[in-house]
Amino acid sequence: MLSPSSGSDPMTTDSFPPDRPDSHGEAALLLAESMLHGLVARAVVPVTEAIEMVEIAMDARVEIADAGADASRGGRDAFDLLAEIKLSLENDVPAPPGPPSADKA
């Protein structure tokens, strides 16, 4: 932990424990997920397109890590959170129609 006399900005991310979630990032991610679900529920965006948007973000996260720009645990956590959002959207995909029932024939 930085001491007040170190001359460094005490609000930099270096002064926080690495396992502490970023509240602003967490709020932004929750809001984005909520908006995606809302757009899907209102049929503004098809669920398949919402899933594709999340996959694009996941791919970008991998590219950032592959480029060595961010090797932190936070990068892995971000990818895992995006994967959870993708899974929650996949639960919204309608089931394919089953075979027609005999009583409708």
pLDDT at 93: 84
Rounded to whole angstroms, how far apart are CA atoms 47 and 92? 7
Q: For residues 18-55, b (16+ Cβ closer than 10 Å) or e, as one string?
A: eeeeeeeeeeebeeebeebbebbeeeebebeebbebbe
- Give the pLDDT mean for 2-15: 48
**Could you tell me how many helices (H) and strands (E) the chain has, helices first?**
3, 0
pLDDT at 5: 46
pLDDT at 103: 61
Q: How does pLDDT run across 47-72, given as a tens digit for each residue?
A: 999 999 999 999 999 988 888 766 56
Q: Please report, for the chain, the start and end positions of each structural domain, with discontinuous segments joined by +.
A: 46-93
Confidence of residue 6 (pLDDT cuts 50, 70, 90): very low
